[in-house]
């Protein structure tokens, strides 16, 4: 069992050598998945998982992590704009706790305020249809979350507010 880290700063302390990270945007119906390169500089959207039961979802995520030889996970933490924690934050913490029981990979939480809104705006600006936006938004939000954490790991992003 691994511990849950409150930020990528803590993740930096446990990472050794080149290996990818897996970024997750947890929704109530889907999980957006992104993967970084082995040097942890660029996040790429990978897929969207339709949520079923936790064990099946976790098995799929762990399979992806094994296939990518990943060094850890970064989960988006949906903190409210005023910094308070609502039911989605509690659900994310529960997901992280349950996933931590199944893997030794570190799990870092990253404040994801406005990630989905930013991705939606980008897709609208790119003139994507509503249907196409629905197909893309979760995995792109996961990439947005992961890229923010990667930038923080590299020291080029300001710190996200404490979660």
DSSP per-residue string spanning 72-112: EEEEEE---TTS---HHHHHHHHHHHHHHTT-SS-EEEEE-
- Which two structure tokens, joined as six digits, stand for 163? 């979660």
**pLDDT-based confidence at residue 116 (cuts at 50, 70, 90):** low
pLDDT digits (tens, 9 = 90+) for 43-81: 999 999 999 999 999 999 999 999 999 999 999 998 766
- Can you tell me the distance from the alpha carbon of 72 to that of 131, in angstroms, rounded to the nearest whole number? 32
Whether 149 has a pLDDT exceeding 60, the answer reads yes
User: Looking at the predicted structure, is the pLDDT value of residue 131 above 80?
Assistant: no
Q: Please, what are the domains in the chain?
A: 4-154 (3.30.420.140)
**160, pLDDT greater than 60:** no
Decide if pLDDT at 22 tops 60: yes
In the beta sheet, which residues pair with residue 72?
21
Read off φ and ψ for residue 141, nearest 5 degrees: -65, -40
pTM of the predicted model, to two decimals?
0.83
pLDDT at 91 over 70: yes
| Average of per-residue pLDDT across 18-28 | 94
Which of 19-28, 63-72, 85-94, 98-107 comes out lowest in average pLDDT?
A: 85-94
Section 80-105 average pLDDT = 88
> In which band, very low, low, confident or very high, does the pLDDT at 162 lie, cut at 50, 70 and 90?
very low
pLDDT value at 13 more than 90: no
């Amino acid at each position: 069992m691994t511990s849950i880290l409150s930020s990528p700063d803590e993740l930096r302390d446990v990472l050794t050598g080149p290996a990818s990270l897996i970024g997750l945007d947890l929704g109530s119906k889907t999980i957006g998945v992104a993967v970084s390169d082995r040097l942890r500089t660029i996040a790429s959207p990978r897929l969207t998982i339709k949520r079923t039961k936790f064990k099946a979802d976790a098995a799929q995520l762990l399979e992806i992590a094994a296939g990518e030889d990943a060094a850890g996970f970064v989960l988006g933490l949906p903190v409210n704009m005023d910094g308070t924690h609502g039911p989605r934050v509690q659900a994310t913490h529960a997901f992280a706790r349950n996933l931590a029981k199944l893997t030794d990979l570190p799990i870092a939480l990253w404040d994801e305020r406005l990630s989905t809104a930013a991705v939606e705006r980008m897709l609208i600006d790119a003139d994507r249809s509503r249907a196409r936006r629905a197909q893309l938004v979760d995995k792109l939000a996961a990439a947005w979350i992961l890229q923010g954490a990667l930038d923080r790991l590299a020291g080029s992003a300001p710190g996200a507010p404490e979660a």
